[in-house]
Every structure is written in structure tokens, then in C-alpha cells.
Amino acid sequence: ADLAAQHEPGVVELELDEADDFLDHAPAELERLGIELLGPEHLVRAPVTVRATASEAPRDERRAKFGKEALVEWEAIIDDTPISEADLERAAAAGTTLMRAGHRWVRIDPSGLRRAKTLLDEQRIERSTIGAVDLLRLAAGHAPDGETSVELVTPDGSPIDADGGDAGQPPIDAAGHDWIRSLLAGLPDERLVEVEESPAFVGELRHYQRRALGWMQFLARMGLGGCLADDMGLGKTATALAHLVERPGPHLVVCPLSVVHNWESEARRFTPCQSVVVHHGSGRHQGGPALFGLADADIVITTYGLLPRDLDALADVEWSTVVLDEAQMVKNPSTKAAKAVRRLRAGQKLALTGTPVENRLSELWSILDACNPGLLGSQQRFREQYAGPIERSNDAEAAERLRRLTRPFVLRRTKADRRLLPDLPDKIEQIAYAQLTKEQATLYQKVVDQLLDDAQHTEGMQRRGRVLAALTRLKQVCNHPAHALKDGSRLAGRSGKLNRFDELVAELLDVGERALVFTQFREMGDLLQHHCVEHFAIDAPFLHGGVSRGARDRMVADFQAGSGPPLLFVSLKAGGTGLNLTAASQVIHYDRWWNPAVEDQATDRAWRLGQQRTVNVHKLVCQGTVEERIGQVIDEKRAIADAVIGSGEAWLSELSTDDLAELVVLEGT
């Protein structure tokens, strides 16, 4: 204050601790007195950053098999000035906030300095080389300790970020020396290179499949896995087989039981030069991999159900490629199948799924972690950094960071892009409304009254359980009183929805078309099957979880050949994935699943490659009921970005009693 009054320049020399105290307290006090403090920015706070300089590691036999690695040199930098190990050691020991960086003083965060020192000590001891997954995490600013600021550069000092390059650059050549930038460029769809299929592949891929093949091969050369998330019906199986035939075996395909036969037949069709072993059923050998005959086959096919049981033998094989078909089966990392997948050893793991996210972003974490362990960090950190902010707050910045980090590893194209399949016929979706009968309305109101009373007077898990049970019962009432009551009573004339179903079936029979009828309830499928025998004299088969693999294959073959009845009843979960049922041009959803992705998967059994006719989709909904309200919510959720669909029934149980009432109360009562 005295210097300010004299209007004369002056100099005050301070000890380090005095300067530290001055910078902590003086700025606020001077501002209160109306005195402006001018000084270099690095005296306000200079971040401590760890710089990782990456260059390609020398090749050896292991790296040739498991992908490229980078040599990394680690150093601390402050204000773009490298800090020697000795200076870092002294500053960390002193605990000061001021230290010299080059020719000037900078102010640092002691805790950041200590973290940087610890990280450098660990990395220098533990690894001088890192794989492509860790390299990408560094480029995205994710330090191994999850906290320290990291900068990734090339040997000439050029910074590398997770975008890696300009989209206007020529297509990537992974064989080039600049493979790091190639990887980090992320391979966006518009830059994918079409790769010709091998002469050993008997068939012809479409242009977008060849681009996916090029993407798979690029990742394989890097020792990385990926998730091909194209819409159902765009030929993911054929693309994967074209990739496998290019690589030495053995390869393992893990899939649901419902598509084992499809994989076997497609492998023999497209890659007849490959030996195929189906590892399933009681007839398989017991013992090690040699007794199983696994290591000698080119392609081994097994199921998610069997994998945990035979894991010792399957994990003992060093697979060239592991393909996870319908990879949403491992969306819950705590399941036996998901844990077993992580124990499999492979040069590359590929996930195939039309729905990388069905309910929550944590499913994307689980699928990508199975393919590239550690890519998205721990599950808890993923929730904190990405899933929580995006799902709760639609955090655009977090969504963009996640997109940049995952972009090289998720390739998704949809049938809505007509450039992919200009010859794919149209899909016409419509709601077929039905009115509740008086009996249904009475039963419905009774369930609603009990539900609202339970919701008002119970809490926690008990409340959630009762809400979910009541919602299921309301859907059963909408289907048919006999479904809700489970009393074996007659069907005719008691359900408005069944009456509307009869009208739709009569219309399609008149024009000679074939139809798939989906229901989520095994009991309702049995009732519909019995009803069609009595009402239409049609004994249509019912494909559900209890049907054996052989019987399932015969049902599909007969329906596709047109030799069986014109209707096929399908349990949504048992037959909603992996089946080719293009003989149907009509799809009827007798009841609605809360998740649009699951419903779309079922519809895509008919609307896919090979379909020649327009596909008409009829969704039966009882007007004025919870079905109509949930239908509106589903339509709104379709507009949310692909990665964030907070559906499934669990979220309904969290609604307040008032919101629950608005959802379920019968209109007009």
C-alpha cells in the first residue's frame, strides 16, 4: 500500500515460503483495496504434466502375433519445460508450491507433483512398451493412475490426440511407419478402405461389408479387438467369416444356442475350406483340448451357456480369433458367460451385435472391455467419467470424450442409411389399437388399485418388486383374462386384443402371406397356438426357449421353405436374435417389450438381407392402458442418441406414486 501511495517503482525480495504465502493471500487483499496485481500466468498455477513420447517398438515373434506395441519414454513437464528427475525428487520432498522450470519460477500443485512422480516411477520400472489400447487411452488424456495429466507426443515432439489426424487425409495404411497416428485417427466410417475378400471365401461381399472387413483386418494388425454393431440383417456373419478365412486358425465362435446351426451352415457355405467343429451337446468329448479336437479345427462353435462349463479346455487353447456373436449376451460383466469370455486367450476378440447398448452405457463398457481389456478403465471409473454424466445430465462433453475414445473400436451402420442397401424393401410399422373388454377393464382396474396402494405403503426393494409384478400383470390382462388368471378358461370373445389379432391373421391369410408372431410370454404363446388351431384350423409351431436345437432348426427350415403353416409363434427372447426368417412379410408383436432395441431385433428376423417384399409390422396395443403410455415413452427414447437408452422395466419401479398413477390408470375411468 505504501508503494502504491508513493507511485514509485520498488523491489521486495521474498524467501520461497514468504512468496508462497504472498501468492496465497495477497491477491484477494490487494483486489479488496482496489490494487491490480499483474504477473505471469505460471505464477498463478502451472499444471504438472507427464509427457509420453511414443515410437514403434521393434518386432519380435510375440508382437507379430499379438499386434504392435509402442516404445514409450516418460518425463514430467511444467509449463512446456522438461523437469529432471533430480529436480522432481527435490520438489516432491520439499512439498513447496514454487519451483524453477527452465529459467523461470512456476507455481505448482504439490499433490499433482507427487502424483506425477509416483506415476513416472511406476512406468519406468514396470513398462517401457505399451500396447495399442493403452496408447489410445494416453492419447485421450487418460493416465494409468486415472488422475495425472498426460500428453502423448511423437519422437519429433508433435502432439497426438485421440482424433489422430485430419479426415481429409488419404486412407490409412497400417503397414506404414506412422501406425500410431493411423490408429488414433479412429477409422471413422468415411475413411474405411474396401478390402477384397479372399479367394478362399465363396461368395461376394457388399461394399459396406468390405469396408468392415478392412476395419477388422486393421485392428487385427494392431492386436486389437472391436465391436461390429451393424443393424441386424446387414450380414455381420458373412463379414466375420471373410475375416476368419484370412487368418490362421483356430478360431472360436461363441453364440446363443439358437444360431449355432446358422453359424455352422454359413461357415460351410462361405468357407468350405475351413474345418468346422460344433462344440455342444452331450456327445462332445470330455478332457483337455486335444481330446476335444479343438486346437486342430479351423473354426470351433460353442454357446454362451456351455462356455463356463468347459472353460478349462477352451481357455487352454491359444485362439487366433474369438468371435462373440450376439455380444449383448455379455453385457452384464458379472455373469458366468462374461467372466468366461474374459479368460479366453486370443490374438483378437470381435463382438458382433446389432444392439451394443440395450439399456445402459455400462453394457457398452462390458462388451468393449471383453474385446480390449482396460480400454475404458475400471467399471467404477467409467460410471463416474461417462455413464453417470451422460445418462443423468446428457453431458455433451463427456459424450464427446467417450465417442473419441471408442470410435476406432465400434463400427455401426444402420439400414436407415439406404446407401447401404438400396434394394432392401421398405418396412412399414403401425400400431394396431384394441379396446379392453368389460372383463379386461374390471381386472385391469383391480390391479391398478392394488398397485397404487402398495406403492404408497411400501418402500425400497419391496416396493420395486411389487411395482414390477403389477406392471407384468397389467400386460397380461391386456393380452387376455385367461393369461392373467391362469385358469385355463375359454379364449373366444373375452379379449379386445385377441379379436384384433384375429382380424390381422384373417387378412394375411386372405392374401397368402406368412407372418411371425412375437410374444414375451411363454404362456401367451401357448394360448395363441391353441387358439389358432380352434379358430383358423392352423397348427402353427411355437419357437421358445424350451425347444431343442434340432426342433428349432426344423421349424425355421420348414417356415423358410413355405412347406409349413403360414404362422410361426416366437418367444421374443428365445427367437428375437440370430434367426433368418425372411419368408415372413408380416410381423405381429402381440405384446410390447419395454425396450425398443429388443423389439427391433425381433422385427429384423424378417427385415434383412434376402427379403424381397415390403415388411409390415403390427404392434398390438390396448388403448388407454399402460401399453399405450409405455409406447409413447419408447418412441421418445428412440430419439435419444444410440448410446443412451435408459429402458428395461427397472426404471419404472423408481417412479413416484403420482407418476406411476399417471402411467397405469385406465383412461376414461
143 near 119, Cβ under 8 Å? yes
Domain count, the chain: 3
Q: What is the pLDDT of residues 200-227, one digit of tens each?
A: 999 999 888 998 999 899 888 878 899 9
Quote the CA–CA distance of 299 and 656 in Å, as a whole number: 52
Reported as a pLDDT band with limits 50, 70 and 90, residue 404 is confident
Q: Is residue 421 part of a domain?
A: no
Quote the CA–CA distance of 476 and 591 in Å, as a whole number: 9
Q: Is residue 156 part of a domain?
A: yes
More confident residue, 649 or 662: 662
Say yes or no: 234 and 356 in one domain.
Answer: yes
Q: Which residues fall within 8 angstroms of residue 114, CB to CB, at 6 or more apart?
A: 92
| CA distances for 514 relative to 190, 360, 506, 511, 585, angstroms | 38, 35, 11, 9, 6
Say yes or no: 403 and 546 in one domain.
Answer: no
Q: Note the maximum CA span of the chain.
A: 108
Say yes or no: 285 and 159 in one domain.
Answer: no
Amino acid found at 552: R
Residue with C-alpha cell 487352454? 316
Percent of the chain with pLDDT strictly greater than 90:
31
What 3-state class would DSSP assign to 55? strand
Q: What is the pLDDT of residues 449-481, one digit of tens each?
A: 988 888 788 877 888 888 888 889 999 999 999
Inform me whether the pLDDT recorded for 570 exceeds 50: yes
Say yes or no: 143 and 220 in one domain.
Answer: no
CATH code, domain with 228: 3.40.50.10810
Strand partners of residue 352: 228, 325
Strands in 103-259 per DSSP E: 104-107, 129-131, 149-153, 159-160, 226-228, 251-255
Q: Is residue 345 part of a domain?
A: yes
Say yes or no: 149 and 247 in one domain.
Answer: no
Say yes or no: 517 and 634 in one domain.
Answer: yes
285 near 314, Cβ under 8 Å? no
More confident residue, 18 or 430: 430
Inform me whether the pLDDT recorded for 571 exceeds 70: yes
Inform me whether the pLDDT recorded for 134 exceeds 80: no
Q: Which residues fall within 8 angstroms of residue 117, CB to CB, at 6 or more apart?
A: 76, 88, 89, 92
Kindly report the pTM of this predicted structure.
0.63
Inform me whether the pLDDT recorded for 114 exceeds 80: no
Say yes or no: 478 and 607 in one domain.
Answer: yes
Q: Is residue 669 part of a domain?
A: no
Quote the CA–CA distance of 175 and 588 in Å, as a whole number: 50
Mean local confidence (pLDDT), 325-347: 93
Inform me whether the pLDDT recorded for 416 exceeds 80: no
Inform me whether the pLDDT recorded for 155 exceeds 60: no
Quote the CA–CA distance of 367 and 598 in Å, as a whole number: 17
607 near 420, Cβ under 8 Å? no
Q: What is the pLDDT of residues 270-329, one digit of tens each?
A: 999 999 998 887 766 555 454 456 778 899 999 999 999 999 989 999 999 999 999 989
Q: Which residues fall within 8 angstroms of residue 418, CB to CB, at 6 or more apart?
A: 424
CA angle 224, 228, 233 (to 5 degrees): 160
CATH code, domain with 466: 3.40.50.300
Please tell me the chain's helix, strand, coil percentages from 3-state DSSP, rounded to the nearest 5: 45, 15, 40
Say yes or no: 459 and 406 in one domain.
Answer: no
Boundary of a domain, candidates 138, 168, 198: 168
Q: What is the pLDDT of residues 162-185, one digit of tens each?
A: 444 433 332 323 333 355 555 555
Quote the CA–CA distance of 508 and 502 in Å, as a whole number: 10
Say yes or no: 543 and 636 in one domain.
Answer: yes
Q: Is residue 607 part of a domain?
A: yes
Say yes or no: 544 and 506 in one domain.
Answer: yes
Q: What is the pLDDT of residues 8-59, one digit of tens each?
A: 667 777 777 777 777 777 777 877 888 877 766 666 666 777 766 666 655 5
Inform me whether the pLDDT recorded for 620 exceeds 80: yes
- Nearest-10 crossing angle of helices 496-510, 460-479: 50
Q: Is residue 514 part of a domain?
A: yes
Say yes or no: 239 and 155 in one domain.
Answer: no
Quote the CA–CA distance of 291 and 284 in Å, as a whole number: 9
Quote the CA–CA distance of 228 and 216 in Å, as a whole number: 9
Say yes or no: 195 and 51 in one domain.
Answer: no
The H-or-E segment that residue 621 falls in is: strand 615-622
Q: Is residue 27 part of a domain?
A: yes
More confident residue, 646 or 60: 60
Q: Is residue 178 part of a domain?
A: no
Strands 226-228 and 345-352: parallel
Boundary of a domain, candidates 357, 386, 411: 411
Domain that residue 195 falls in:
186-411
